[in-house]
């Protein structure tokens, strides 16, 4: 079986969204390992309810100097954006064959088999961040 990791990135201000996404991942992709990268300091009491996911910190994948530089340079949101590539690389180096990054405001409502099937054999799979009728990506139609 192909090992799959599902990862989202968030801050303590968005912990409810992180929990909701990872709970839906547990329901609809039970075979996948689930991870939450929390970029700001969160006390143990704030991480309650994430027993079904492994909590990661930027320090797990960045040197102390890189962490210090990024945390001074970026806002919390920018830090989340900047951590996408490092956390995906981190999980791939841990041996996962597929890493599915989802924004914390995502809610999985059904099987991910179609998305995971599209990932088979792909070096990278990108999904547009818009919906039909928004004026972006005219002609795009479909759901994932």
Into how many domains does the chain fold?
Answer: 1
pTM: 0.82
Identify the CATH number of the domain in which residue 37 sits: 3.90.550.10
pLDDT of amino acid 4: 92
Would you say residue 78 lies in a domain? yes
Would you say residue 63 lies in a domain? yes
| 3-state secondary structure labels for all residues of the chain | CCCEEEEEEECHHHHHHHHHHHHHHHHHCCCCEEEEEECCCCCHHHHCCCCCCEEECHHHCCCHHHHHHHHHHCCHHHHHHHCHHHHHHHHHHCCCCEEEECCCCCCCCCCCHHHHHHHCCCCCCCCCCCCCCCCCCCCCCCCC
Q: Tens of pLDDT along 4-19? A: 999 999 988 888 999 9
Q: Which range scores top for mean pLDDT: 11-15, 49-53, 60-64?
A: 60-64
Q: Tens of pLDDT along 20-33? A: 999 999 999 999 99
Would you say residue 130 lies in a domain? no
pLDDT of amino acid 141: 46
Would you say residue 127 lies in a domain? no
């Amino acid at each position: 079986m192909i090992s799959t990791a599902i990862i989202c990135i968030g801050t303590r201000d968005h912990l409810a969204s992180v929990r909701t996404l990872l709970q839906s991942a547990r329901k609809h992709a039970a075979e996948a390992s689930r991870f939450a990268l929390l970029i700001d300091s969160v006390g143990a009491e704030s991480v309650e309810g994430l027993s079904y996911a492994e909590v990661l910190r930027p320090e797990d994948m960045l040197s102390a100097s890189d962490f210090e530089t990024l945390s001074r340079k970026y806002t919390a949101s920018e830090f989340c954006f900047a951590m996408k590539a490092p956390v995906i690389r981190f999980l791939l180096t841990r041996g996962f064959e597929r890493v599915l990054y989802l924004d914390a405001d995502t809610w999985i409502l059904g099987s991910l088999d179609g998305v995971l099937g599209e990932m088979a054999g792909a070096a990278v799979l990108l999904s547009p961040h818009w919906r039909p009728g928004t004026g972006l990506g005219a002609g795009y139609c479909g759901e994932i």
